[in-house]
Structure 1
């Protein structure tokens, strides 16, 4: 059994549906009400449409779009700054690598010149002191090679440290992630691949 409030609500809903059906039937008979230009409400609707469109256009062109454009411009300038910093860091790393290669070549040339001078001096005195001179030359050569190896190892250690720090700074600046172990491993692999490890 239905309660009186539910009964009243059901009757009102049925009456509303009947009225909507009769209105729809009347409009269908007359044509589309949106295209009824003889309706005096049509001019008011067009005026309100223009007012709302104007307000919407003003809000978009005066407030929303300039803010979006400034955000995009700021992002573009920040990205360009980051790229310029990365280029500068790469140029610095290239300069450090060139300096290392020049120092290595200079050390090789100096050691080669020292070895050549020692060999010429040994040949001039070979008749008298061949055995002693050969022993002394062997000691000088091993000492020079040890110095070269030490200098090379020190230079490679410095290069590895500079390359690791530079790569870590680039990765941190570009991505915001700092993983020193992974960067150090990548630098070690690259140096090993080039035969400089």
Structure 2
């Protein structure tokens, strides 16, 4: 019996809850029907303008506070970091450009100095070669002159020796011819006088 009474009470409570829910749905539906019947959309209802403006002000104030205290400082911090990074990158690029220009100028100066040095070395080598060649040429010319002088002296000596022997050869030849022609000897004095007269002519 007690169990049956408990089951009955539970069913009664469930029925009561169902009745309350139905009543709530009926009330909500009735309110919606009243608004629809009135033809005014709630946000456009003049009776709710005050509360709407109040909530608008509160919402705007909260949004403004959040933006000014949270979002905007973060955005400003991000922009500042980005600006600093850009400035650092520009400074680094300017430094690299300056170093590159200095390196190019130093390279060009070194190249010009190397060219000038090479030109000086070539000029010096050319002058040294010219001096050496002139010295060697002078030595050769001096040797040739010395050899010519020696040759001329030898030729003169040979010529003098030959000329000194010409008289003797002429006398002997004249004596041999006269012996063949005349058949008798001729005096040496006569032959020498005849050779001297022939040389004089």
* TM-score normalised by length of structure 1: 0.50
Q: Structure with the greater relative contact order (CA < 8 A, sep ≥ 6): 1 or 2?
A: 1
- Name the CA distance, whole Å, in 2 between partners of 1:92 and 1:58: 50
CA distance in 2, matches of 1:79, 1:48: 43
**Does 2:37 align with 1:29?**
yes
Query: Which 10-residue stretch deviates more, 19-28 or 90-99?
Result: 19-28
Q: How many residues are treated as equivalent by the alignment?
A: 123
Q: Report the Cα distance in structure 2 between the residues aligned to 1:78 and 1:97, rounded to whole angstroms.
A: 28
Three-state SS of the structure 2 residue aligned to 1:123 is: helix
Q: Distance in 1 between matches of 2:113 and 2:58?
A: 81
Is residue 73 of structure 2 the alignment partner of residue 66 of structure 1? yes
The separation in 2 between residues aligned to 1:112 and 1:80, in whole angstroms, is 47
Q: Which runs of 4+ in 1 moved over 4 A?
A: 7-21
Query: What's the CA shift for 1:83?
Result: 1.4
Of the three residues 33, 54, 62, the one matched with 2:61 is: 54
Deviations 1:104-155 (A, max 9, x none): 221121111111121123223324447xxxxxxxxxxxxxxxxxxxxxxxxx
**Larger Rg computed on CA atoms:** 2
CA distance in 2, matches of 1:121, 1:111: 15
What root-mean-square deviation, in Å, do the aligned CA atoms of Structure 1 and Structure 2 show? 3.1
**Gaps in structure 2 of 5+ consecutive residues:** 1-10, 138-201
Q: 1:63 to 1:122 in 2, by over 3 A?
A: same
Q: Residue 13 and residue 105 in structure 1: after superposition, are their counterparts in 2 closer, same or farther (change >3 A)? A: farther
CA distance in 2, matches of 1:124, 1:10: 132
